[in-house]
Structure 1
Amino acid sequence: MAKYLCIVTYTAEGLKGLMARGGTARVEAAHKFVGSAGGSVESFYFGLGADDAYIVADLPDNVAAAATAMSAAATGMVVNRMVPLLTAEEVDRAAGARLSYDAPGS
């Protein structure tokens, strides 16, 4: 499974729903929603500031990640960003790859 950070900002209508049902209900809904895509929620935190919630989830692949992001955004209740996360070991493997790149104008 791949790990993703979903950064959520609620619209005004989404905030009304959050306030009506509470944070615990949103966390439970996220577990159910991500589970329906074949994944699981590792953590869910609410934040203060520009973003309202941070969800770390394991999902089968980028298609499942895109499906969850699009399905949530299509409700009009949230704006979200899905960030693929890498482990330190994955970064080590990427850093060890020796690729040849022709820069523009070279």
Structure 2
Amino acid sequence: MPKFLIQATYTPEGTKGLLKEGASSRRTAVEQAVASLGGTVETMYFAFGEHDIIVIVDFPDPVAMAAVSLRVKASGALRTQATPLLSLDEIDEATRRQVSFRPPGA
């Protein structure tokens, strides 16, 4: 299954909800949202700095990741960024594929 790194930052409204419900309830909400599209949560951390939450998830396909991302962003509680993660074996496979490419000016 494709793996994604999700970095999220709470909006002021989202932070109020976190203070009211606590961190454990947020993990449950994330797990339910991900599971509803056939995915699993590998790990979830709260952090300090630019991002408040770091999550690594597995989804059956990128469309499932997009569906969750759209729903979460539409809530207005979080700003999110999802990054596809590739295994070392996947990168090894990519290096073996032939690509027809001409750089500009060449």
- Give TM class, smaller chain: over 0.9
Percent identity over the alignment is 40
1:4-23 map, 5 Å: 4-23=4-23
- TM-score, structure 1 normalization: 0.95
Shift of residue 75 of structure 1? 0.3
Shift of residue 37 of structure 1? 1.3
Shift of residue 68 of structure 1? 0.7
Regions of 4+ moved over 3 Å: none
Separation of aligned partners in 2, 1:29 and 1:55: 13
- Aligned twin of 1:98: 98
Q: Which digits, 9 at most, give the CA deviation of each residue in 1:34-91, with x for residues without a partner? A: 0011111011101000100011001011111111111100000000001110011111
Q: Could you list the runs of 5+ residues in structure 2 that have no partner in the other structure?
A: none
Matched, 1:55 2:64: no
Shift of residue 105 of structure 1? 3.2
Separation of aligned partners in 1, 2:34 and 2:102: 40
- TM-score, structure 2 normalization: 0.95
Matched, 1:74 2:71: no
> Partner amino acid for 1:103?
P
Separation of aligned partners in 1, 2:9 and 2:91: 28
Q: Which digits, 9 at most, give the CA deviation of each residue in 1:10-50, with x for residues without a partner? A: 10000110111110000011000100111110111010001
Separation of aligned partners in 1, 2:35 and 2:104: 43
Shift of residue 104 of structure 1? 2.5
Separation of aligned partners in 1, 2:99 and 2:71: 36
Tell me which moved more, 93-102 or 37-46: 93-102
Separation of aligned partners in 2, 1:32 and 1:105: 51
- Aligned twin of 1:32: 32
Q: Could you list the runs of 5+ residues in structure 1 that have no partner in the other structure?
A: none
